[in-house]
Structure 1
Amino acid sequence: LTLDLRDPGRAAGQIAAFAAKHPLHAIIPTDDETAVVAAAASARLGLPHNPPEAARAARRKDELRRILHAARVQTPRYSVMTLDHDPAASALKQGFPVVLKPTFLAASRGVIRADNPEQFVAAFRRIEALLHEPDILGKGGDAARLIVAEEFVPGVEVAVEGLLIGGRLKVLALFDKPDPLDGPFFEETIYVTPSRLAAGIQDAIATTTASAGRALGLREGPVHAELRVNDRGPWLIELAARSIGGLCSRALRFGTGLSLEEVVLMHALGRSVEEIQREPRPAGVMMIPIPHAGVLRGVSGVAAARRVPASTTSRSAPPSAGRSCRCRRDRRTSASSSRARTARRRSRAPCGRRTPGCRSRSSPTPNPSRVLALRGQAARNPATPINLCGMLVASIGSARSDGRRADHERGIIHLMSHILFICSGNTCRSPMAAGIARRIFGQSHLIVSAGAGTSGGDGAATNAASGRIMCERPEGTPQAAGRCVK
């Protein structure tokens, strides 16, 4: 099933038609864009969901600011400019420092601080160039012509990972960000939990986050919020109707070892998560420091880090240096390695040949599913491609006997949580998860959406029932609109 995320109504209709043949019990979005489609589809199917307009407002920074100001939730003052505005004239109306950002992008892409009119114009032009990137134009629609300018809020920054249950916020984790994040770019560096802030401040942060969720109309599912705290209290900077991005969720474990994704899926499937608490031990995430723009070539020192007592170290290996190739079934290897030779033999064509499902590239872009620091790199270089997360649809097969139902659901939760995690990177397009689903749980279904407006052209989807990778263009998409990356 291939979905065009630019048209949530149509995508929701496709999911509803799919659900008529394959009953669904939960729809879980994994990024800002799929949250709108998930809400629309869940509304059609009568599943617990956020109102589609609430999910849409959470994705749009201009709408978020407007709604929060109307609800008197403390948030920065702002103004909205179109790309037709004269930035030099707009700069004369601003107070400084000010932060410029696109209205709909994530991972700090295009978020730039300006301290004077000259920096304001430079930031405007840099964001303007970013918004003219073809994949962003298709992804943002009218929003790709807007830029938000908002006051810079000094203070310490925190991140809230939470779950909305019938409109009530359950805080799953509060992360401190100990490094000063003062710009001009705002790449992430370090997350640590539990927070070292005073209990009263933590309560105020939770209250502000909950108030923002109510103001938007969000009621169910994961939320990820970014706030700043100073002598005036917490300021809501961002609120997304999804869980934390990238690989950061690996730092969190709940109850007897549940992952964040399992908790989200348990809630979506109607299981009680009220009593679940994060494990009583500190955890942290460190993004790879980004001293300047470039290509990540390797990571060293991991073995030494793993020898630190009482620590657990996890990393995801970056692509090899040198010329690389993405061949069939999402293989990506160094052309000089034995793995590359094996991949070429299996694909029946050398990586340098222009064959379906195989592309050569002399200067590889880091794979977001393997590189923890992509958010930081994107902040330094807003033109860095950000890959798209997918949308998961979890289905519990009704043919199971009641005696085995609980074990089956637990197995589905484990399976789907792993797929959800994998889908935070390019491996959404890998057949591995689909093959596991086909062999173990024939009645489970996975939809991975990478529609025409988001993948630069064709959409790619994994069918868990058959374990196949399917590529097709959504109706109305011209042949030259792009390619389907398998």
Structure 2
Amino acid sequence: MTALAPTPTAPAVLVLGGGTRLPKALRGHGLHVVYGGAPAEFTPSHHDSCDEALLLTGDEDTWVRRAVALHRQVPFARVVTVRERFLTTAARITHALGLEGNPLDTVLMLKDKSAMREAFDPEQDESAVRARVMDAPDDVDAFVAGVGLPVVLKPRDGSGSEGIAVVRDAEDLTAARHRVAARPGVLLAEEFLAGPEFSVETFTHGGHHRLLAVTEKFTGDNAVEIGHVVPARVGADDRAALEGATRRFLDAIGLTEGPAHTEVILTPRGPRIVESHNRPGGDGIVDLVRHVTGLDIRDLLAAQVAGAPLPEAAGERAGAAATWFLTAAPGLATEVSGWEEAAGRPGVVAAVPGTRPGDTVAELRGSDDRCGSVTAVAATADDALDRARGALALVSVRTEPVPARPHVPESRATR
């Protein structure tokens, strides 16, 4: 479905996916905004924030083909997105139309962790990580023989902690071999990195990487992130090392503009780059950065796209901001309570339920398995964490085992 307006007089920008903050900011610069997404994602707020809509379902090739066709009617000056699932789509459309933006090869590299590892080689930079694509089960044994246990097995293309496994012993090694046999060429093995986890939030303009914040990360079962705090509680030397490694990495992959969210582990040998994405950090990190720095990454991106000066910090700023995520025992949620009390606690700026009675709580394997979050601000990182955790402790999700589906004997009528 395409809703077309008269031929715009202002430069048109195609915004793929996301909420309304970026479209509103772009329109604030006088741009003509075309929102692209699935029909179910187009809300009344989107209707009020955009000039036109390209609404359709389909694969990436479909999006590229339709966008190129629409460009003949509404010539796009730029194509942008802040959503993971549209990153390569936006880059392919940009490339097909010859528009300004990050090189397509750079965006594809960030989606393919094996290509990213090749571009940022351990022999050239000590912050790089040893890795190898697993084409056959024997590759698992060969990689372990070279780096030792434990190792990490993950999809070459993935985000949100999905499908990550740590191989620690012989039993895990057998399971890893089976995974590789079932999905040859899909998984990547990497050396295991021990140390606290961080992400570095940046904005690149004219090839210069501006460091906005260092986020301290906390993980639970299956390496799923369960908390964040900005600024990270690190000393000046470690912060400089994290920032330096990130800048070198972004230079190596050729990022020229826009936001990036780079994940780093601070090992005893120094920072090591885990992965990166040419978008703002998820899980509300963009809001933590805004609370602390007074800068919204989406506003920076809108100004960049419009060719306007990048905005300065604005509004009241907190010393620190933290988000903590609720997890619960797997099963059927029978009772959810405490969200109103959590929202009223000192310093709490957001309390977001993610599970309602009747929902099924899955085992914690990915970001979607969390049950909600609380965000709080305070003068220090420790206090912000205490406030977020303390408020979340007021929330309760009770679960019970999911009833087994009754067995229905097969009959002739159902065969």
Which TM class, normalised by the smaller chain length?
0.5 to 0.7
In structure 2, distance between residues paired with 1:204 and 1:18 = 45
Number of aligned positions between the proteins: 314
Q: Give CA-to-partner distance per residue, 1:349-375, whole Å, 9 cap, x none.
A: xxxxxxxxxxxxxxx567xxxxxxx9x
State the Cα distance separating 1:274 from its structure 2 match. Answer: 6.5
Q: Does 1:81 align with 2:81?
A: no
Alignment map for 1:290-369 (pairs within 5 Å) = 293-294=330-331, 299-309=336-346, 311-322=347-358
CA 1:100/1:145 → structure 2, altered by over 3 Å: closer, same or farther?
A: same
Contact 1:187 1:377 in 2 (8 A): yes
Task: Report the residue type matching 2:215 in the other structure.
Answer: F
> Which of 12, 16, 21 is matched with 2:68 structurally?
16
Unaligned runs of 5+ in 2: 1-53, 371-415
In structure 2, distance between residues paired with 1:314 and 1:212 = 33
SS at 1:271 equivalent: coil
> Which of 209, 223, 236 is matched with 1:169 structurally?
209
In structure 1, distance between residues paired with 2:326 and 2:137 = 37
CA 1:120/1:195 → structure 2, altered by over 3 Å: closer, same or farther?
A: same
CA 1:274/1:96 → structure 2, altered by over 3 Å: closer, same or farther?
A: farther
> Which of 305, 312, 320 is matched with 1:282 structurally?
320
In structure 2, distance between residues paired with 1:203 and 1:62 = 27
Aligned position for 1:458: none
In structure 2, distance between residues paired with 1:193 and 1:297 = 34
User: Of Structure 1 and Structure 2, which has the larger fraction of its residues in strand?
Assistant: 2
State the Cα distance separating 1:208 from its structure 2 match. Answer: 1.0
In structure 2, distance between residues paired with 1:190 and 1:274 = 29
Q: Give CA-to-partner distance per residue, 1:7-26, whole Å, 9 cap, x none.
A: 4xx64343232122123343
Aligned position for 1:149: 189
Contact 1:5 1:34 in 2 (8 A): no
Give the TM-score normalised by the residue count of structure 2: 0.66
In structure 2, distance between residues paired with 1:145 and 1:152 = 20
In structure 1, distance between residues paired with 2:295 and 2:322 = 17
Identity of aligned residues (%): 26
- Which stretches of structure 1, 4 residues or longer, exceed 4 Å deviation after superposition? 3-6, 83-94, 126-129, 254-258, 292-299
Contact 1:29 1:35 in 2 (8 A): yes
CA 1:254/1:71 → structure 2, altered by over 3 Å: closer, same or farther?
A: farther
Aligned position for 2:149: 96
Unaligned runs of 5+ in 1: 132-143, 323-363, 367-373, 386-486
Alignment map for 1:26-41 (pairs within 5 Å) = 26-41=78-93
CA RMSD of aligned residues (A): 3.3
When structure 1 is superposed on structure 2, of 300-309 and 279-288 the one drifting more is 300-309
In structure 2, distance between residues paired with 1:75 and 1:195 = 21
Task: Report the residue type matching 1:116 in the other structure.
Answer: D
> Which of 255, 263, 274 is matched with 2:300 structurally?
263
State the Cα distance separating 1:147 from its structure 2 match. Answer: 1.2
Say which structure, 1 or 2, has more relative contact order (CA 8 Å, 6+ apart). Answer: 1
Contact 2:132 2:190 in 1 (8 A): yes
Contact 1:298 1:318 in 2 (8 A): no
State the Cα distance separating 1:250 from its structure 2 match. Answer: 3.1
State the Cα distance separating 1:236 from its structure 2 match. Answer: 0.5
Aligned position for 2:275: 238
Give the TM-score normalised by the residue count of structure 1: 0.57
In structure 2, distance between residues paired with 1:120 and 1:277 = 52
Contact 1:164 1:220 in 2 (8 A): yes
State the Cα distance separating 1:3 from its structure 2 match. Answer: 6.5
